[in-house]
């Protein structure tokens, strides 16, 4: 009897330990705010993150198995689609907005340029089902995964049984996306006192704090609010932004403030990808502001900088480019799970 008890205890410990080894702790970078995402409801584990990563890179999520999340959110581009102004879905269908860069999503309180999506777990539903993006349905994705030779085993590893549900699939995708933390730019090293700004960068930092920080607040370089930054309305799109969601005229032409991190990799800029270069963006703030009742008050007078100042500011913005983020193999195409020529 005693023996049995001891064996049971040992087995229990072994089981507990084996789970412990795969659990992951989400590390909050020093000095950063508390994440918005509730990790208590979807605790990170190595196997779930890996499942999410596999799904992220697998075109099986699209109707014709041609397009994966990574098609429009590639790591080399800080998880956006470089050189496309508007998103690009299956059968070369063109969407109506610029695909956003994915990083530091645990701190984001809403998703999409207009905040249409209120939680990271349900974000993936939008591109999966949008006819201009992946044009697929969740039940059909589940059917495809069930008959796939790898997924039942991966769900088993992640969840303890091989049942594939919408909730599990979506939460695994969240887990991978939550790990996409970019906090190793030069700026971060300077803040950690491991590096120093050059004189030009330092001047640019001062200009940033003066002109940009009210919306693009440190350390995330976004405050996730919705603002009208004075862009003229592109008549081919007539995109009213946040107002389409809230139906409030006070939200007309407002879009979510994007981060200034990793700008080197994420061009073109703005919700419709209208600017290819940072210089164009700065010129817009200096001379292009369109006055409308909802214009952000900070922009009423425009942001004028001479060419020297622009140079300093751009030098500072370059310190927000995180090379380790775009080259971290843990975020990349999971070659080991795919056969040659599969995925992406």
Partner 1 sequence: MLFRLLFIGLFCCTQTVAAQYLDLKFVATWGGKPVDAQKYYKLPSGDSLRITNFRCYISGISLSANGKTVYIEPNSYHLLDMAEPPSMQLRLPNIPKYDAIYFSIGVDSIMSISGAHGGDLDPEKGMYWAWQSGYINFKVEGNSNLCNTRRNEFQFHIGGYAGKDNALVKLTLRNADAPNTMTIQIPLSKWLQQIDLRQQHTIMSPSAEAVQLAKQFAATLNIQEP
Q: What does the binding site for partner 1 look like in residue numbers (CB under 8 A)?
A: 38, 41-42, 116-122, 125-126, 128-130, 137-139, 142, 165-168, 170-171, 174, 245, 247
**Nearest distance in Å: CB 143, partner 1:** 10
Considering beta carbons, is residue 246 or 298 the nearer one to partner 1?
246
Q: Which two tokens stand for residue 202?
A: 């330092």
Our CA dihedral for 69, 74, 78, 79, rounded to 10 degrees, sits at -10
User: 228: helix, coil or strand?
Assistant: strand
In whole angstroms, what is the distance from residue 187 CA to residue 344 CA?
31
* Token reading at 254: 């407002």
CB-count exposure of residue 150 (10 Å: 0-12, 13-18, 19+): middle
Nearest-approach distance from CB 147 to partner 1, in angstroms: 16
Residue 255 DSSP one-character state: E
Element of type H or E holding 138: helix 138-146
Minimal distance, residue 170 CB to partner 1, in Å: 4
When the beta carbons of 95 and 219 are compared against partner 1, the nearer one is: 95
Output the smallest distance, CB 307 to partner 1, in A. 43
Cα dihedral 165, 168, 103, 111 sign = positive
What are the C-alpha distances in Å from 265 to residues 196, 205, 325? 23, 20, 11
CB nearer partner 1, residue 21 or residue 238: 238
Nearer to partner 1, 159 or 285 (CB): 159
Contact 171, 42 (CB under 8 A): yes
Residue 221 CB, nearest distance to partner 1 (Å)? 25
Decide if 304 contacts 286 (C-beta within 8 A).
yes
Q: Is 90 helix (H, G, I), strand (E, B) or coil?
A: helix
Residue closer to partner 1 (CB basis): 98 or 171: 171
Taking the complex as a whole, the smallest distance from the CB of residue 118 to partner 1 amounts, in Å, to: 4
Angle (CA) 246 123 56, round 5°? 160
Output 120 or 320, the one with its CB closest to partner 1. Answer: 120
CA–CA distance, 310 with 96 (Å, rounded to integer):
30
CA–CA distance, 170 with 172 (Å, rounded to integer): 5
Question: In angstroms, rounded to a whole number, what is the distance separating the alpha carbons of residues 238 and 272?
Answer: 11
Q: How far is the CB of 251 from partner 1 (least distance, A)?
A: 13
Pick the closer one to partner 1 by CB: 47 or 319: 47
Shortest reach from residue 177's CB to partner 1, in Å: 13
Instruction: Give whichever of 12 and 165 is closer to partner 1, judged by the CB atom.
Output: 165
CB 118: neighbour CB atoms within 10 A?
Answer: 13
We find the least distance from the C-beta atom of residue 306 to partner 1, in angstroms, to be 44
284 contacts 231 by C-beta, under 8 angstroms: yes
248 vs 327, beta carbon nearer partner 1: 248
């Amino acid at each position: 009897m005693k023996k049995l008890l001891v064996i049971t205890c040992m087995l229990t410990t072994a089981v507990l330990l084996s789970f412990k080894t795969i659990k992951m702790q989400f590390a909050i970078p020093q000095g950063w705010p508390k994440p918005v995402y509730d990790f208590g409801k979807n605790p990170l584990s190595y196997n779930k993150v890996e499942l999410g990563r596999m799904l992220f890179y697998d075109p099986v999520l699209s109707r014709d198995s041609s397009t994966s999340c990574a098609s429009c959110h590639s790591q080399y581009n800080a998880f956006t689609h470089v050189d496309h102004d508007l998103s690009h879905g299956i059968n070369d269908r063109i969407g109506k907005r610029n695909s956003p860069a994915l990083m530091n999503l645990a701190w984001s309180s809403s998703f999409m340029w207009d905040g249409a999506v209120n939680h990271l777990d349900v974000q993936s539903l939008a591109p999966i089902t949008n006819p201009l993006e992946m044009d697929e349905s969740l039940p059909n994705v589940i059917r495809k995964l069930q008959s796939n030779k790898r997924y039942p085993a991966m769900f088993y590893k992640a969840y303890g049984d091989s049942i594939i549900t919408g909730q599990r699939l979506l939460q695994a995708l969240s887990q991978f996306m939550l790990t996409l933390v970019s906090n190793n730019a030069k700026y971060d090293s300077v803040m950690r006192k491991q590096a120093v700004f050059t004189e030009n960068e330092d001047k640019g930092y001062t200009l940033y704090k003066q002109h940009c920080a009210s919306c693009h607040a440190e350390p995330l370089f976004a405050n996730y609010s919705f603002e009208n930054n004075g862009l003229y309305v592109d008549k081919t799109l007539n995109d009213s932004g946040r107002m389409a969601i809230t139906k409030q005229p006070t939200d007309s032409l407002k879009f979510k403030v994007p981060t200034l991190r990793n700008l080197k990799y994420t061009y073109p800029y703005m919700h419709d990808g209208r600017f290819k270069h940072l210089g164009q963006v700065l010129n817009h703030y200096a001379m292009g502001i369109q006055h409308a009742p909802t214009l952000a008050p900070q922009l009423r007078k425009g942001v004028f900088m001479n060419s020297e100042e622009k140079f300093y500011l751009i030098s500072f913005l370059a310190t927000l480019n995180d090379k380790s983020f775009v080259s971290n193999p843990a975020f990349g195409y999971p070659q080991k799970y795919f056969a040659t020529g599969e995925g992406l």
